[in-house]
Amino acid sequence: MAKPRIEIVLQPGEFHFGERNTRIRTLLGSCVAITLWHPKLLIGGMCHFLLPSRPLIPRSCDGRYGEEAMALLIAAIASHGTKPREYEAKLFGGGNMFPGKGRGDAFDVGTRNAQIAMQMLARHGIVPKATSLGQSGYRNVYFDVGTGNVWVRHVSELLQEVKRSA
């Protein structure tokens, strides 16, 4: 008998790792989500982080920070007896939520989040299979762990319309 479908909604700072009957979704602005999927075992997870890192050494991992969110995913991978390089990765988010402000420097959180996500994957020997990073607006992300498919709805039209009418 098939297991019932599990629907997970990630809030900022959360992560989930599940089996093939799991679908994970989240909403991103400048935050970044990383999906990792094992194509043979049909397991995988997603994290949703707000900031690249924190200056203090943590006592425990906090999923709000990219480096720690990745550590949580890596721990879940290890608990399943698998290695990070066996997974397909996809990255989303890192949007500019204030278009027209001319950001793009070191203070642009979305850009910094996207950069740290790419660095973390490279550190674990993972090459992203797909990315949807940067630009303006927000993204709805849906990840089906059973198939590895990720659907993204990138909404920037509303922000452009508000800018024109201001």
Instruction: Walk along the chain (166 residues) and give the pLDDT tens digit of each residue.
Output: 667 899 999 999 999 999 999 999 999 999 999 999 999 999 999 999 999 988 877 678 889 999 999 999 999 999 999 999 999 999 999 998 876 665 455 568 999 999 999 999 999 999 999 999 998 889 999 999 999 999 999 987 554 544 444 4
Number of domains in the chain: 1
3-state DSSP assignment of residue 89: strand
pTM over 0.85: yes
Q: Is residue 1 part of a domain?
A: no
CATH value at residue 85: 3.30.1330.200
Q: How do beta strands 6-9 and 22-28 pair? A: parallel
- Give the residue from 4, 13, 33, 23 showing the smallest Cα distance to 133: 33
Q: Is residue 92 part of a domain?
A: yes
- Domain encompassing residue 117: 6-165
Q: Are 45 and 141 in contact (CB under 8 A)?
A: no
Q: How do beta strands 22-28 and 43-49 pair? A: unpaired
